[in-house]
Amino acid sequence: MTTQSGLTNTFQALPNPRGGAVRIAEMALTDALHAFMREGDTLGVLRRGIGALHSAGWLPAQRFGETLVLVSPLAGLSEKTRNQFAEALRDFSAAVERRNLRELACSTLLFDHYRGLHALMAAHTRAAPVSFDDLALAGRAIPPATLRSISPERLARVRAHYERALLMLLRSKAGEGKGEAEIVSILDACLADLAGPDPYDFWRLAGAVVEALRLRPDPDTAADARRLYARFNLVLADQAHGLSHAPKSLVRAALALLWRDYALYGASAEDSVQVDVLRDYGLTVDWHVAASQASEIAWERNAEQARDASTRDLGVLRVNAVAYEDFLTSAEPAIGALIEHGMSAREAGRIDVPAALKAADAAYRLGAAACALGLGHVALLADTLGLAWRRIAYEAKITPDGSPLDAAIPERAAQALGAMLHQAAAGIAPSEGGASVAALTAMIERGMAVAR
């Protein structure tokens, strides 16, 4: 399948033919490229596209577009920068037309452009370095990852083994085969020894991400893994000094790398451990079916039918009419159950842990469906609501007699989500839901260590 950007690079995930299209943004990006090639006004056209992406709730795409705006005054300094900017704009335009929100967040191609554009800015300004999570986790709440108490003797012993193996890894050349595999196995054994039963134990996340990176062996993922192993050593030092939470920046970086390939390609049954970790942190994936010639033919047939189907307009978003009706049919009972569960928890004054986990799963399903349709604001609020119920269930389980998180906050958020869905059902663009996301985020991140 050829994309608009096929002459330069290819994308990784499949396009989403049943997803909503932000036609204003698509046309604005095409016009911006033409204007740039003619040395015309690029800024005004780009800002029009960014406004449309913001209205649709496509936050990672909005952030990428804002970077293009910041870099555009520098793009004409040389032939090299002109080509760099034009290629980034061309590939971004192609990505927006593919209507895959997870790809827009996690595409390594787009991130390479994003990092290159920031490097161009850094050469002329004081622009801060960027990391993959800047795009992948834009707007998302991140719960604190804990460092459990371990006896000083045991921690010192594990740390000594880890540092010895890490030094050998950093001195070795990438891809040295058996020797490197043995070193990595020692490091992984140390991570497993450190991990506790707590779902938000940092070392559980650490073990999951390095294992996921090994599933796609290439120089880039190997380099990512080496960097993570080195950063984990700093966390070991923090833990030895009594810190109780891992740095938020590292948690974000690890989560984004763990989510990357699953967001792009989907997950299979053997990935259930990694998927469970992602769900604990508010990130969902699709389950993929093994590819075959028959499945590819069926996908192409469905894609062709989706392109020919009738559409509905929800503000700036143009959606496939059949997908829109399917979404509304499944969303109505889900949101009703979420509101009812919030009311029951508030009135009872206690948290039913299994019921809270069911509420989280219902919110995640709703978020995934909204993401597939292109309703970015709905998807973000639903995912954040699911994470909030996950955190409520977790805290109720570990401190059954303690002060629980406020169940009234997710109840109000569910009501706001219901209002957004009623707007969509009436053919009106759903509102942003920013206040509800902010309230949920504050609750989810309660007790967060100072970001470093």
Is residue 299 included in any domain, yes or no? no
Q: Is the dihedral of CA 301, 10, 291, 286 positive or negative?
A: negative
Q: What is the mean pLDDT of residues 378-402?
A: 88
Q: What is the mean pLDDT of residues 35-48?
A: 91
Instruction: Give the residue, 310 or 136, on which the prediction is more confident.
Output: 136
| CATH assignment at residue 363 | 1.20.120.160
pLDDT at 218 over 90: no
* Side-by-side strand order, sheet with 317-320: 21-22, 317-320, 311-314
Is residue 289 included in any domain, yes or no? no
Give CA–CA dist 386/213, Å, rounded: 26
Is 275 found in the same domain as 163? yes
Is 244 found in the same domain as 156? yes
Is 433 found in the same domain as 389? yes
Is 397 found in the same domain as 345? yes
- The number of folded domains in the chain is 3
Is 438 found in the same domain as 335? yes
Range of the domain at 117: 21-130
Is 116 found in the same domain as 157? no
**pLDDT tens, 353-366?**
888 899 999 999 99
pLDDT at 296 over 60: no
For residue 308, the model assigns a pLDDT of 58
Segment holding 94, helix H or strand E: helix 79-98
**pLDDT tens, 58-106?**
999 999 999 999 999 998 888 999 999 999 999 999 999 999 999 999 9
Among 130, 160, 185, give the residue marking a domain's end.
130
Give CA–CA dist 373/157, Å, rounded: 51
Is 42 found in the same domain as 119? yes
Is residue 366 included in any domain, yes or no? yes
Q: What is the mean pLDDT of residues 245-269?
A: 94
Task: Count CB atoms within 10 A of the CB of residue 98.
Answer: 22
Is 210 found in the same domain as 92? no
Is 73 found in the same domain as 176? no
pLDDT at 403 over 60: no
On whether the CB atoms of residues 122 and 101 are closer than 8 A, the answer is: no
- Among 32-41, 55-64, 121-130, the range scoring the smallest mean pLDDT is 121-130
| C-alpha of 112 from chain center | 16
**pLDDT tens, 94-121?**
999 999 999 999 999 999 999 999 999 9
Is 352 found in the same domain as 387? yes
Among 232, 264, 280, give the residue marking a domain's end.
280
Task: Categorize the per-residue pLDDT at 180 as very low, low, confident or very high, splitting at 50, 70 and 90.
Answer: confident
Give CA–CA dist 313/324, Å, rounded: 10
For residue 450, the model assigns a pLDDT of 34
Give CA–CA dist 405/395, Å, rounded: 7
Tell me, what DSSP letter sits at residue 449?
P
pLDDT at 292 over 70: no
